[in-house]
Amino acid sequence: MDSTRMHERRLEHFSSGPPHNTAKKGDFAPLVLMPGDPLRAKYIAETRLKNVRQVTGVRNMLGFTGTWEGVDVSVMSSGMGAPSMGIYSYELFAFYGVEKIVRIGTCGGMTPDIDVGDLVIAMTASTDSNYAHQYGLNGSFSPCADYGLLEKAVEAARSRGTKYWVGGIFSSDVFSLYSALDDAEGWKKWAAMGCAATDMECFALYCNAAYLKKKALTLLTCSDSNTSRREMTPLERQTSLNAMFDVALDLA
């Protein structure tokens, strides 16, 4: 069965709506900003958008829609890891007519070029995940960001005087500090290949966008550095990401 027919069958199966989102058709704007943390989604909606309304909250994955400078914008949490991002971004793209998703999250820096607080704009994501296995490809798939979104993000960061870095990152299935192998040097192998930062969701988002012919971009704020050993506090992770939010909203 080809991918188009498979997608059509999924839509037919869930004709009454997807199982992880109670929003109605039309509740989401064409652009969705997607942090991992539900409270971060709530913070952005309440502090940046006007005329805000909550449109979904299944399993506390909060979603909101409002306006930014007169343009409709939505923000919804993705949860942590490729499976969670995969579910929520797929449903937004496939069931709600969302055209663009911009992941806004935190990352770990893996080279001295990226310090705590810097903005990382991900062109592509390498991974140790098996997420792309579902496509039955005879090889390794390397998903990438939408160039139009990436170009606008670079322009926005430059005009705002925000320190940024653009390139490839590494999306891991395992939070590095909890690795069962405790391979303290493993990240250096990815860094040596040019992956300057690590997250857990970018690869799945870019795969979904490619499969469904949509647009995606990942913006990350470095919250901790493997090289300097500096890190943000939990409170800073909630409130000190404003430069990234500004750049993301410039894409509306």
- Structural domains in the chain, sorted by start: 3-249 (3.40.50.1580)
> In the predicted model, is pLDDT for residue 245 greater than 70?
yes
Instruction: Give 99-141 pLDDT, tens digit per residue.
Output: 999 999 999 999 999 999 999 999 999 999 999 999 999 999 9
Average of pLDDT values for 72-89? 97
Query: How far apart, in whole angstroms, are the C-alpha atoms of residue 109 and residue 78?
Result: 21
Average of pLDDT values for 46-53? 97
Poorest-pLDDT segment among 11-15, 122-126, 140-144, 156-160 = 11-15
pLDDT at residue 18 in the model: 82
Mean pLDDT rounded to a whole number for the chain: 91
Q: Which residues are catalytic?
A: 224
Average of pLDDT values for 7-16? 58
pLDDT at residue 177 in the model: 54
Whole-prediction pTM: 0.91
Query: What percent of the chain stands above pLDDT 90?
Result: 79
Output the DSSP codes for the chain.
--HHHHHHHHHHHTTT--TT--PPTTSS-SEEEE-S-HHHHHHHHHHH-EEEEEEE-GGG--EEEEEETTEEEEEE---SSHHHHHHHHHHHHHHS---EEEEEEEEEE-STT--TT-EEEEEEEEES--GGGGGT-SS----B--HHHHHHHHHHHHHHT--EEEEEEEE-SS-GGG-TT--TTHHHHHHHTT--EEESSHHHHHHHHHHHT-EEEEEEEEEEETTT--B--HHHHHHS-HHHHHHHHTT-
User: pLDDT tier at 62 (50, 70, 90 boundaries)?
Assistant: very high
pLDDT at residue 61 in the model: 96
Instruction: Give 181-236 pLDDT, tens digit per residue.
Output: 455 678 889 999 999 999 999 999 999 999 999 999 999 999 999 888 888 887 77
pLDDT at residue 160 in the model: 96
Average of pLDDT values for 32-46? 96
DSSP β-ladder status, 215-225 and 119-127: antiparallel
> In the predicted model, is pLDDT for residue 1 greater than 80?
no
User: pLDDT tier at 180 (50, 70, 90 boundaries)?
Assistant: very low
pLDDT at residue 14 in the model: 57
Query: What percent of the chain stands above pLDDT 70?
Result: 89
